[in-house]
Amino acid sequence: MKFRITFLFLLLVACTEPEDKSFQNTVKFNNQNPNMIMIINSSDKIPPYIISKELTFEELLKGEVYSDTIYSPDTLFFQLNESVQLIDVTPTDEYYPQSFLVKTGDTLDVQYINSKINVNRIENGKFIPLKWDLTQIIPKSKKFLYLDSIESFFLKEEITGSLKFFLPNVKNKDEWSFKLPEYLKLIDENYSAVVDSLNKYENSLNNLYSQLIKKDQVQRINNVLNIVNNKEETEKFYSKYLIPENFRNRYLSSIYGIYYMDKFHFNKDITLTEAYDRGFPEYPKEIARYFKFRLVSSMIIKKYRKETVFEFLDKYKEEYGDFSPLENILSEMEYGIQTSTDLALIDYQSNDSKWEEIKKKWKGKIIYVDFWASWCAPCLRAMPYSKELKEKLAGKEIVFVYLALNDREDLWRNSTQRNQIIENNFFIKNSKSSEFISNYNINAIPRYMIFDKNGMLIHEDAPGPDTKEAFEILTELLKL
């Protein structure tokens, strides 16, 4: 649950002494939410941030939310699953997240300075910079430096290695095979020594460090095996790490994702549908379900026919009783929605409607339509201007309508509430199949349209609410 309490930030940063009552109230509030962290985005001129965390497959099946978006300026409460956990912070206009180690009850301030994310923990009115990378727990000893030098030998040949399917007898194959055993032995010794040293002092933080170290070890081994393409060592790798204990661990379950991509997604000897129908009888039920979930997801990525994807979605539901965690795919594929020339809509109260039908209730009024999405930074930046324009024309025969295009329903609902635009705000359920979208070439947002008092489209690419032209056009239409 999220709260808009930007005013709290003003109280918080004004505190310089722990005796300040406003700061004490903040701490008390956090203590009442022991699994939460509070994140403050204090800037109003930057794109929204996506806050995310890693979930176990069991948590995904329960419908737990793995990410949320914080806008600017705003305050967000984000739930953790453990007392100490790694979260990722990613600006919506970038691709690469930055990781930060946080604990329940933390209050964080996120800023964007010199094109770089800066995250601070607020303690006793002071800003403490948060930084995280593995060098904080993995020492750069001579053994690790030597390990890095061996790895660099493989990685510098990555381009050649990526051609292994076409050129299996690459010139470095023998040298790779010679160096690989030494690399694997050294990486096992070095990482095991670090983990053993942490395990001498058991606590939640050291336990987390051990998992992150093992995760880094797995990823490094996999990167090299992908280049060398040594089948024997690859099978040993899977035998060692592909255990149920790792599957249930949020940081180590990635080994199952690695195995899936290797054995199924990139496997040219078996189709995704064949793999699904064969099933996974050798695995526990939860792991078999995970693989089938990934297979359906891959069918979409590989652009299988829509009818085929729907067929396997039906099989999945029949076997497991529900679609979890494929709900987002249902929306993406518009499962169960027939192709239409109209827009299939749902409002904030979950009432279904059609655009042509709902438009009739506004007969006699000008309709200003805003096509937007929760992930669209320009759309969100324009929202305050839309509200301002609406206030200027208050009492006039005009209605402002918001239609969420190519969005996720859960993110749309969160953004709708946060931006306080619940009235006349609709989620488009058939963004991809509606001929309305294709006929008017709505392939970029924000996009604005104006309908006259008879519901006829008179401006299919209208000026945005942040322009003087929008006010002038609407004012002239209201005189008619």
Confidence of residue 251 (pLDDT cuts 50, 70, 90): very high
Alpha helix stretches (DSSP H) within 97-203: 142-155, 158-161, 173-199
Q: pLDDT tens across 196-248, in order? A: 999 888 888 899 999 999 999 999 999 888 888 788 999 999 999 999 999 99
Domain presence at residue 448:
yes
Within this chain, do residues 70 and 117 fall inside the same structural domain, yes or no?
yes
DSSP per-residue letters across 371-398: EE-TT-HHHHHHHHHHHHHHHHTTTSSE
Within this chain, do residues 158 and 276 fall inside the same structural domain, yes or no?
no
Domain presence at residue 1:
no
- What token pair was written down for 120? 């601070």
Q: Determine the Cα–Cα distance for residues 50 and 91; give it in Å rounded to an integer.
A: 6
Give the strand order in the sheet containing 107-113.
Answer: 74-79, 36-41, 107-113, 116-123, 126-129
Within this chain, do residues 348 and 415 fall inside the same structural domain, yes or no?
yes
Q: How many domains does the chain have?
A: 4
Within this chain, do residues 114 and 138 fall inside the same structural domain, yes or no?
no
State the pLDDT at residue 8: 28
Last residue of a domain, one of 110, 132, 154: 132
Q: Determine the Cα–Cα distance for residues 173 and 472; give it in Å rounded to an integer.
A: 70
pTM of the model: 0.70
Q: What is the CATH number of the domain that holds 12?
A: 2.60.40
Describe the chain by its helix, strand, coil percentages, rounded to 5: 45, 20, 35
Within this chain, do residues 412 and 458 fall inside the same structural domain, yes or no?
yes
Q: pLDDT tens across 75-134, in order? A: 889 999 999 999 999 877 666 788 999 999 999 998 877 777 789 999 998 999 998 888
Within this chain, do residues 21 and 128 fall inside the same structural domain, yes or no?
yes
Domain presence at residue 28:
yes
Within this chain, do residues 418 and 380 fall inside the same structural domain, yes or no?
yes
Within this chain, do residues 113 and 196 fall inside the same structural domain, yes or no?
no
Domain presence at residue 254:
no
Confidence of residue 171 (pLDDT cuts 50, 70, 90): low
Last residue of a domain, one of 285, 309, 336: 336
State the pLDDT at residue 20: 30
Give the strand order in the sheet containing 98-103.
Answer: 67-70, 49-53, 84-91, 98-103
Within this chain, do residues 108 and 154 fall inside the same structural domain, yes or no?
no
Domain presence at residue 192:
yes
Q: pLDDT tens across 300-346, in order? A: 888 888 889 999 999 999 999 999 999 888 877 777 766 668 999 99
Confidence of residue 167 (pLDDT cuts 50, 70, 90): very low
Domain presence at residue 93:
yes
Domain presence at residue 253:
no
Last residue of a domain, one of 336, 362, 381: 336
Domain presence at residue 256:
no
Range 211-223 burial, b when 16+ CB lie within 10 A, else e: bbbbbbbbebbbe
Within this chain, do residues 242 and 150 fall inside the same structural domain, yes or no?
yes
Q: By residue range, what is the domain housing residue 324?
A: 270-336
Within this chain, do residues 282 and 359 fall inside the same structural domain, yes or no?
no
Range 115-128 burial, b when 16+ CB lie within 10 A, else e: eebbbbbbeebeee
Within this chain, do residues 429 and 466 fall inside the same structural domain, yes or no?
yes
Taken as a whole, the chain contains a residue count of 480
